[in-house]
Amino acid sequence: MPKAIFCDIVRSCFMQWRRRVSRIMRRNGGTSAIRSIMRFHSICPFVRGLLVVPVALLVGAATGLAQAGSPAGPVPVQYLEARRAALLDRMGTGVAILRSTDQRSIEAEGAHPQDSDFRQDNDFFYLTGLETAGSWLVLVARDSAPDQEILYLPPRDTLAERWTGPALGPGPEAAALTVIEDTRSNAEAERDIRRLVLRPNSPARSGGLYISRGERESDIPLFRELVFSPSVSRTPPVVSDLRPLVAAGRLVKDADELRRLRRAIDITAEAERAAMRVIRPGMWEYEIEAVIEATFRRSGAERVGFPSIIGAGTNATVLHYDKSRGQSEGGDLVVMDIGAEFGYYTADVTRTVPVTGTFTERQRALYELVLATQQAAIDSVRPGVTTQDLNRIARVYMREHSGELCQPGTCDRYFVHGASHWLGMDVHDVGDYGTPFAEGMVLTVEPGIYIPEQRIGIRIEDDVLVTARGHELLSAGAPRKPQDIEALMRETR
């Protein structure tokens, strides 16, 4: 059978199935949708037994264009579909518009786009899995008709691809990677969006217009027009911020997100171990940083999730010190707050180690207090608890167990930041901090003590997954007990 005819048959069958599932999901929920999926073969008996391999090959061919060899690989389409379906459910009725990150050139004139360090907008990647600049995603939630998804991509440019390599354009490859059937040229995006939003019977009027209201979006002319220029319509749609709706989905990680996070955390733990093996008195902070970030890249991380914080001595007492210009001295502690990014998900792990390889008596006593404080908070992680609870537990524990270490007073006065934050695509990830923990959420636990006049800064930070009955420590691969740190550092001395 000719390839074109086969593809047309498969596409037609798939679109029938998608439309049926969409209608049933809107009316009757997931159980009926599952029954519809089971009836898929009865819709298209011709493709029974033939569908899996050709579609897999099609997706595989497109993957190289979209992911450019990313060690993380593409996001499986079932997760992309589920994320968008959940967002459409939260919208109820309305129109959501997302814009990808634009290409940025390092050079002032912008003449050489291959010099850009492009990273996709997190929400756009979360919903599409694509890294293509200059793209739009439009989602239409309707009450009485099937929902609609439209993806706009830059058309292929063979001349540009001679310089920068194959790109993903509108067409079957993009549809296979995203399971968005309707892919169009981005040249049509603004015209189509105006028509969709401003027509009298638009879902944007009956439900609302959802766009991201960040600083980046305020620079997009179309968004400014729709939001700030009521003259475009006598009855402009009510505009709402899309970000909280996406954040509600990002807060609970699916299996693919957890796969990426686990790998990012494992890479980061290996980098912590690599740094512990080489640290010596007199080393510059940037030398330690170089060992860490080289380990990231060798292990498949695309980039750092945030600027590495490597602080020795007094610099260890600066919470977000990221200059890496100081030189360590004998007797110093070094704080290493680092995170590899793997497939758009970042780790956040902090270890504090003695430059000499051995803690002094006072350093060890303070370190063990911070470690015990952290363990008390970690032990409390389970469904129903909140980040505020962890912060209270950590502070109370440190205050009650300070003894005479921080006289006059207690050590919690040197604990000057929160004990926890969400973790995911952003290091301080999106989500309401009043939300009770639920299975699939990932957070950090990171108490600390900072005494600048004594050149002592200690922070211990680990990444924790909330499970159905408790928690899992994801960053256990990085030594955190003082005896384990000293043992590892002795191996290379």
- pLDDT tens track for 13-40: 454 444 444 444 444 444 334 334 433 3
Element containing residue 99 per DSSP (H, E): strand 94-99
Q: Lowest-pLDDT range, 5-19, 234-248, 476-490?
A: 5-19
Q: How far are the Cα atoms of 118, 274, 286 from residue 323, in angstroms, in the given order?
A: 23, 20, 8
Q: Which CATH class is domain 69-249?
A: alpha beta
Q: Lowest-pLDDT range, 109-118, 129-138, 149-158, 261-270?
A: 109-118
The Cα–Cα gap between 449 and 460 comes to 10
Q: Is the domain 255-490 a CATH 3.30.43.10 member?
A: no
Share of the chain above pLDDT 70, in %: 81
pTM: 0.86
The pLDDT value given to residue 262: 99
317 neighbors 233 (Cβ within 8 angstroms): no
Residue type (1 letter), 90: R
Q: Would the pLDDT of 198 be above 90? A: no
Angle at 16 between CA 124 and CA 197, to 5 degrees: 45
- Model confidence at 105, in pLDDT bands (50, 70, 90)? confident
Q: What mean pLDDT comes out for the span 453-469?
A: 98
The Cα–Cα gap between 109 and 394 comes to 51
The pLDDT value given to residue 164: 84
- Model confidence at 109, in pLDDT bands (50, 70, 90)? low
pLDDT digits 0-9 by tens, 179-194? 999 999 999 999 999 9
The pLDDT value given to residue 220: 75
Q: Where in the chain is the domain with CATH 3.90.230.10?
A: 255-490
Per the DSSP assignment, residues forming a β-bridge with 267 are: none
Q: Where in the chain is the domain with CATH 3.40.350.10?
A: 69-249
Q: Lowest-pLDDT range, 199-208, 227-236, 348-357, 420-429?
A: 227-236
